[in-house]
Each structure stands twice: as structure tokens, then as C-alpha cells.
Structure 1
Amino acid sequence: MQAIAIDDQRLIWRDHEDPGPLGANDVRIDVAWAGINRADLMQRGGNYPPPPGESEIPGLEVSGTITETGRDVERFRHGDRVCALLAGGGYAEQVVVNQAQVLPIPQELGLREAAALPEVFATAWLNLYMEGAVQTGQRVLLHAAASGVGTAAIQLCRAFGNPCFVTAGSADKLEACYRLGADAGWNRHDGSFVDAVKDWGGADMILDPVGGDYIAQDLAVLNADGRLVLIGLMGGLEAQVNLGRMLMKRQRLIGSTLRSRSAKAKGAILDALYAHVWPRLSRGEIKPLIAGTWPVQEAETAMQHLSDNANIGKILLSVSGKG
């Protein structure tokens, strides 16, 4: 097969060994589309290696068609059109993955749209409703809200009764967030969001992919018994924290990653998505927001678009060109 290799931070489409052989619970997928995530940028830069034993090929989510199944696979068969959550290997013509990390494509969606689902909706669901334990009516603050994860999280908040305040980097991005269902927002270039969020009523839960000096600001607007879930470090590795405020307001700071979790843990997240989110996708109540698509051979250009923060929604790579 052919796949993307990282060579001195360059992305090169070239010959690669086929993945496999299949384990008893694995499926082989011919990849149609692959999603780009910030984790791929970090891996390219040498800062986020794949978990031990996982593929060195970047790519954490794909859509495609099953071509082979392991002996204990019961959920899928040859020819099924699916999407999958990976620990790596997605920028390739084939992937092999545990069946627990695979879902059928929601009705009314094609392979292109389905590639925009696994990583961002799994991340949003995990951190809002599992780690963040958000209950109906609780208020949510979402940073980098025009990203793939952000646009998924806004729609989940709208669907499950959680008012959300968003931060983003331009008026256009904020307008896109409002169209998806955000209740209020703040342009990060206008300075600190603290006063605006306090005036809005504070947040019961915060989803933060930034870290750095955002943490102190987050805790300043987090309500009593609130949860701050940190999922990224775009703003830096270090932060100053007012421990007295955390103590008195019973605030919780939770670090969360998805990639390194076991197949069983990822399967539990995808099962929840299938039960609670897939029906809404099929009915058109929730939709993947796609910012742009590029041929996989132009992965460098596509990744630069993400690095430049030029996207509103998900960036995809076409591997086979199938819909």
C-alpha cells in the first residue's frame, strides 16, 4: 500500500508495508477519507509519538469499506461502510483496527462526512459528558470553538440542553459558532474573556485545549463544584493556579487524552456516541462541519491550513476519492 511518512517533518506519500495481520477482533478497512487533527501536527513536530506498538503513520480517524474481518468479529462484515477511531495509521490506503473502535456510518451520511466524526465527536463526548459530567442545564465554556472538536461540542451542547459560551479568533469564527448554537462568545484577540464569561453567569464546566495562562482565567470564571477539562497545550505547558480559590469553590482540574486509551475504553466512548449521537446525525440534527478537503498527496498543504488556524470545522484528506 501507500501511506504518508514523516521525513524530517515533511509529509511524503510513498510505498509502505500493509498493516496486519488481523487479530481475532480486528477489521481491515480500505480508507476513503482521513481526518487531520492537531495531534498530527504535534507528531509531525516530534512532540507526540504514537503509543507503544501503534503505527508511526499519522492519522487518528478514517472512513472507508471493510475488506477483511478477524475470526471473532460479529458486528461487521465484508463490504460494510464504516468510520473508525485510531491511535495512528490513518493517512494510508489501509488500516487494521479493533472492531470496538469502528462504527457504521450514520444514515444519510457519505464516506466524506463520516471521516469528520470519530475523533472530534469522541473527544467532545468524552470530555463533556464523561470526564466533565455535564448535566442538563449546566453552563459550558468552550475554547478554540471553531475547531473540529469545538464545532462538535457546540452542537452537543445545543442538543443536550447546555448553554455554551465560546471563544474563537475572529468575528467570522464566532458567527459560525453562533449558527451552530452557541449562546455567547468572545474574540480572543480582544483580551481576557474573564469579565465577559462572569457577566454571562460563569461556567459549570470548561473544555480547554489551550492551557498556559488560560488556566488561571478558566478557574476565575468556573463556578462552585465546576470541572475544568484540559485536552491540549496550545498555550504552553505551565500555568499559575490559585489553589485557595480551587479549594474554597471545590473546583476540579482534569487532564484528558483520547489517543492512548485502550480499545475497550475507546469502544465504550463510541458505544455512547452510537446510542446518543448517531440517531441525531441520521436525522440531521447534528452535522459534521467540514472546512476543506485535499488529496492525501497534498497533506502538507492541508496541515498548514490547520496550523495557520484558518479552518472552521474539520479538514479532511481524500485517500481513494470515494464519496
Structure 2
Amino acid sequence: MDKNRRDLIGLAGAATIGSSLTTFAGRSVHAAQADYPNKPIKLIVPFPPGGGTDLIGRFLAKQLSVALNQSVIVDNRSGAGGMIGSQACAAAPADGYTISVGITGTHALPVAMGVKQTYDPIGDFTAISLLGYSPNFLLVHPSFPARTVAEFIEVVRAHPGVYSFGSWGNGSGGHFAGEYLKKIAKLDMQHVPYKGVAPMINDLVGGQIVVAFGDGGASPPQVKAGKIIALAAAGTRRSPALPDISTFDEQGIKFIADSWYGIFGPTRLPAEIVGRLSDEFRKILAQADSLSMLASFGLVAQAAGPAEFKQLVQRDIELWTKVARDANIQSES
């Protein structure tokens, strides 16, 4: 047998082996996906235990565990406003065994403020499922001379520069909501940042400030007690935590400034796994007990699939980046 022929046969053999290995690897990956999940799943919550996001994550982990007949373990990775936990998810293997809870404050607001992140909130993640929204509330002290949004705007416009609004921190959802309302309603107000929701609510109750934007967790108890007044919910729907409080839209003001919650995985997560998880979360969010439990955490449950959820994140980044630029909202870090 001549050398050229031997070389050709050798190349053909190598090609056959390579093709076989590729086919085997492809079948192995497919089999692994078909067998998913065959080991515990880690759900990263990028905030400390006991908070609203943690409570939502733990409830959903339990429900998902039942649906998949597999353990789902909550891993609290707090720090840097949720960026440490989010980075841990982005850096995880794209095998479906590490997913995370993400919110507006981890995937949209930092980008809007130009915060230096170690991850791309779009390119480094796979959007799996929207979980729902938590509307912010426009709150006032009982002494404030307005009980509707229209009256509020009239009062503030009549006293430019006199009133300020509080939020639970610089660059928080409440801060962005206040600046956004200032822009569309043409209001002259200063921002007063607090280090957390609790001290802001305490000062609002005490009358040290008379206007604030509060979240759906800490605000409702004080509203129900009559210590502060909620003029409107800044969401697409009323909050189950305060069902008697109408939305801005219901009062004739086109204004939405809620915070969304969702589930993410690392980028390049296989479509079969994304579809499986998205379907399971959709089923979970359709259950009456899930709606009731999530409502107790101030969340308006609403599922959306991967494509729609990704579009929502992209739209929010664009919106809040514009608001941050117009209001000169900058990170303190």
C-alpha cells in the first residue's frame, strides 16, 4: 500500500472517530437534558435571609422542588446591592443547576446609573421567567393637603421647591420613581435619601418628611394603620397588599414605576432546560395558593416567558437610563 493511500485511510479513520465522538457527545448532552434535573438545583437569592426577596425565593424554591421532584436549595449571596449573587449566577455552568432571583435593582437600575458591574445584565444571563411586580406607592403624611394624585400635583406645583420626597436610598426604586414622576408631572422637588425603608417610613410617620415613595413591603402596614396615606400605586395593577389603593393610571396619570422580580440562569442555558423551568414557574404562578402567598409579600404575580421577560429587562434599562441621565442620578460607589 502506497504512502498516499495510507494517509488517506488514516485521515478517513480519524474523521470517522471524530464524527463518532461528536455524535456520542451530542447524545450525552441530549440525554443529560432529557434527564434534567437529576441532582439538586441551587437558587441564588442575592440578598440576606429574612427580606422580601428571600421570602419570595424560599417559597418558590419549595414549590419548584415539588414540581420537579428534586431538591431546590436557596443560597443567599448578599452584598453590593445584589450584584455579588447575580455575578455568581452569571459565572455558573450553563447546565440548569444554578439559577437566581433577579430584580429591577440588580439588572436595570445599576446599568442606568453607570455602576461598574462585573456582568452584563443581558448578555451574561438567560431570562427564564418573570415572576411578577411589586408596585411602589406615592405616600404622604396625613397632614399633606391632598388625597388624589391630581391634588398632589396641584399642591406641589403651587409651591415649587418647597416639598421634598423621601426614598429608601440613592439609586433605589423609590428614588427613580420620584424623579420619573417629577419629570412627567413637571414638579420641583428635592430628593431625600434614607439608608433603608424603615427609617424613611419612621420619618414619614413622624412628619419629618411629608412625601415619599415606598415599596410594597414596609408601606402597607402603616397605611392600614392610618399613620400614612397612600395616594396611588405605581403599577399596572393594584397591589394585593393594598387593594383599595388605585393606580396612577386609574386616576388618569400615565405613570408606571414598579419593580419586577424574575428568574435568571447563566447565558447559553440549553433551550430544553429553559423551556422546562419556564413552564414550571408558569404553572406555579397560576396556583391559587401561590397567588395568595406572593400577595402577602406584596408581589403581583404574573408569569412571562423567556423572550417577553428579556424584552422587559431591555425596556427597563432604556427607560431608567434616560431617567437617570435627565435627573443626574449617579452611583455613590
Which TM class, normalised by the smaller chain length?
Answer: 0.3 to 0.5
Rg larger for: 2
Q: With CA pairs under 8 Å and 6+ residues apart, which has the higher RCO, 1 or 2?
A: 2
Structure with a larger share of its residues in helix: 2
TM-score, structure 1 normalization: 0.35
Q: What TM-score, normalized by structure 2, do the two folds share?
A: 0.34
